Amino acid sequence: MRTADPCVLVIFGASGDLTARKLIPALYEMHRAGALPAKFQVLGVSRREKNDAAWRDELALSVQKHAKGWDAAAWSNFATCIHYFAGDAAQGEMYRALAERLGQFDAQDGTRGNRLFYLSVGPELYESIVQRIEDASLVTEGKRWCAIDRDERSWQRIIVEKPFGSDEASAASLNRTLGRVFEETEIYRIDHYLGKEVVQAMLVLRFANTIFEPVWNHQYIDHVQITATETVGVGNRTAFFDATGAIRDMIQSHLLQIFAFAAMEPPTVYGAEDIRAEKIKVVKALRATNASDIAAHAVLGQYAASEQEGAYHQLPGVSAGSTTETYAAIKLHVDNWRWAGTPFYLRTGKRMAKKRTEVVVQFKPPAANLFRGVAQSAGEAIGNRLVMEIAPDERTRLRFESKLPGTPFRIANVEMQVDFDKEFGVEPVEAYGPLLVDAMRGDQSLFKHGREVESGWAAVMPFLGSGSSDIRTLINANYAQGSWGPAAADEMMARDGRVWHNDE
């Protein structure tokens, strides 16, 4: 595996919550694992005035709280590469001083002009920061090809956090802005869900086991459910969430990424270009939902009041008469040979019964029910089921039918299960860590391509545009906190002769 190159990680918005809770703890874990390059520096850019020592002290407390395996000596060693730069990223003159500081790293620490810019700021600042990076000549396009020896080349890459636009048009605009400054090979649209072990293990499950790939199609699979639910509400993010909603926040980004891994065709080899090419194709194959079918293909909701918290529409920061969804369940179809007629159900919600992120592959029942007269111990046989749990547990479960010992002749449901923690004895690390190291290595396997982003927006736009007004008028406080969502979502599945996978 290619090692990570020497570089400076420049974090715009370094005083934000993401840096403290996720990025620095993830980098600390990678440092302890020996995955970071020997010549590596972090430069946090933010408007607040502070020095390196003060920022390091703040981050030490956060790492103790959020990282795995606190070690004071390891932190002291890692902290020497953390630096702070006070400046307003919206002001062009700041970038001249930033360029000088980056040059000092090259001269003193051997970072060779390699820059990894991280946009940990509000999405409204993305395009202006990218433009100012270009204006300050911080991207030396083409120079990385001047030397034959890879060790003499320099590169400049950029990591962009979601949301990648707020709709199809804004996503295309952002892609154009990024493309004017960076090559597509240097743009890393990050989705931390792809850093989770079970999501990546999905490719191994599918393509390294001959018992699965032959039946991974519409002939044998009845439907697929992809769920990401939380027991918490929107917290102090009401202003952001009310302008975003569950579809934009979760389905268009995280769940479509999981969908792509579950539905893509086999790549030729396990390589970044091959994997991304197949993901692009399957997301592009998603059928656009007709306006007349929206009500039958989607259910939206807002959580009602409870003793602990008011209803969503009553929260401070939520606009009067808001129709922003805290719950969404949508049905999508893929127009290709593998999945013709097989629906994919994607759902997400706040204040739900359980915290759960999983993929459920429901297989069709046998073509002929040989045992239709035999008693079932747990209801009627419904076919095999494969459940890939991503959070809070990381495990895979396969359900099948078996004969109960003894007489009379009876059938029961049984499961085989692999728990990643128990089986491999490795505690999972923060998902951002391996992704950051991949960006330093130049590996885009687990990052989104621009075309994939735009195709994903095209698939969900019918549920966000004016055609969704009918289902939005029905969402006000239409599900109880601690439930599995609106009753209409169960009715949508019942019309298709299916049920949600809610309980164990």
Catalytically annotated residues = 254
163 token code pair: 């949301």
Residue showing tokens 């995280």: 254
The DSSP 8-state label assigned to residue 298 in this structure reads E
CB atoms closer than 10 angstroms to residue 403: 12
In degrees and rounded to multiples of 5, residue 477 shows phi and psi of 50, 45
Q: How many angstroms separate the CA atoms of 181 and 126, rounded? A: 12
- Residue 346 contacts residue 330 (beta carbons within 8 Å): yes
Q: What type of residue is 227?
A: T
Angle at 214 between CA 279 and CA 287, to 5 degrees: 40
Max intra-chain CA distance, the chain: 83
Strand segments, DSSP code E, in 266-349 are 298-301, 327-333, 343-349
CB atoms closer than 10 angstroms to residue 459: 25
Nearest to 295 by CA among 467, 98, 482: 467
Pairing of strands 298-301, 221-229: unpaired
- Residue 342 contacts residue 334 (beta carbons within 8 Å): yes
Cα dist from 73 to 24, 27, 34, 137, 264, whole Å: 16, 15, 14, 38, 44
In degrees and rounded to multiples of 5, residue 231 shows phi and psi of -85, -15
How big is the chain by its Cα radius of gyration, in Å? 24
Strand segments, DSSP code E, in 302-429 are 327-333, 343-349, 356-363, 375-376, 385-391, 395-403, 410-419
Q: If you write DSSP's letter for every residue of 202-227 in order, what string do you get?
A: HHHHHHS-TTTGGG-STTTEEEEEEE
The sign of the torsion formed by the CA atoms of 375, 377, 380, 382 equals: negative
The DSSP 8-state label assigned to residue 255 in this structure reads I
- Residue 463 contacts residue 298 (beta carbons within 8 Å): yes
Q: How many angstroms separate the CA atoms of 25 and 160, rounded? A: 19
286 token code pair: 């998603």
48, burial (CB in 10 Å: exposed 0-12, middle 13-18, buried 19+): exposed
Q: How far is CA 195 from the centre of its chain?
A: 8
* Helix axes of 450-460 and 272-284: crossing angle, nearest 10 degrees: 20
